[in-house]
Amino acid sequence: MRGSVLVMAKAPVAGRAKTRLAAVVGDAVAADLAAAALLDTLEAAAEAYPEGRRVLALAGDLAEAAREQEVRAAAAHWLVVPQSGADFAARLVDGHRQAHRLAGGPVLQVGMDTPQVTGALLREVAALAHDGRRPVLGPALDGGWWVLVTTHPDQADALAAVPTSRPDTGSLTAKALAAAGHPSLAAPALRDVDEVEDAHAVAAEAPTTRFAQLWRDHAGLPAHREERG
């Protein structure tokens, strides 16, 4: 796979991770769910990109994180860098620049809120950017976005002025890229896991993920049964 993958992640620490889910399942379980989602994401990205082309931009301290040893083991074959910037938009810009410098472009960036993502889908999105020679933006159902591929580090600069965590963040990001001379192609839409209904939907969509298995354990859902021929 040409280029590299960038995962922007926050250490899954109780009381700081998945706070909206924590209102239902508690802080410790919410942190465990965040860790499971991160592990699912790292696994999918590792299926699509080889060692040396994987960058994990991490905020927070893994020493306090749920599933600390599992996360450290999964990240052992990644280039791990600290997130840097005054706000999340600035950290996104810095993350893309670091990934371009350390691992090469195009850089496909995802977060840890889409544990249903697969290596095949990431390869599809990366191919779209490669063939179109343009950035690719994947909308999230809540109005944000779940994936951004930059084909040049300067493209990420357009993110600096875009407000995050808003229902129009996705459309504003697309407009900012276009205004900077980098109109984006559209990737398939995915659902971010923020609310309880998101967790239910994603667990149903990708029932064999770590996230889905843990969500079923704590949300009173029936266990997934594999279909056998």
Average pLDDT, rounded, for the chain: 93
User: Could you give the count of Cα atoms lying within 13 Å of 212 in the half-sphere of its Cβ?
Assistant: 19
What is the percent of the chain with per-residue pLDDT over 90, rounded to a whole number? 90
229 lies in some domain: no
Residue 224 lies in a domain: no
Q: Is the pLDDT of residue 61 over 80?
A: yes
Question: Averaged over 140-166, what is the pLDDT?
Answer: 94
pLDDT per residue as tens digits for the range 103-132: 999 999 999 999 999 999 999 999 999 999
Pick left, alpha or beta for residue 15 (phi over 0 → left; psi -120 to 50 → alpha; otherwise beta). left
Q: Within a domain: residue 82?
A: yes
Q: For the chain, how many structural domains are there in total? A: 1
What is the enclosing helix (H) or strand (E) of 5? strand 4-10
What is the C-alpha to C-alpha distance for residues 203 and 141, in angstroms, rounded to an integer?
Answer: 16
pLDDT at 45: 98
Complete DSSP assignment for 187-220: PPPB----SHHHHHHHHHHSTTSHHHHHHHHHHT
Each residue's pLDDT tens digit, 13-40: 999 999 999 999 999 999 999 999 999 9
Find the CATH number of the domain harbouring 145: 3.90.550.10
- Find, among 108, 89, 114, 199, the residue nearest to 149 by Cα: 108
Q: What CA–CA distance (Å, rounded) separates 30 from 193?
A: 11
- Say if 204 falls within a structural domain: yes
**pTM metric for this prediction:** 0.93
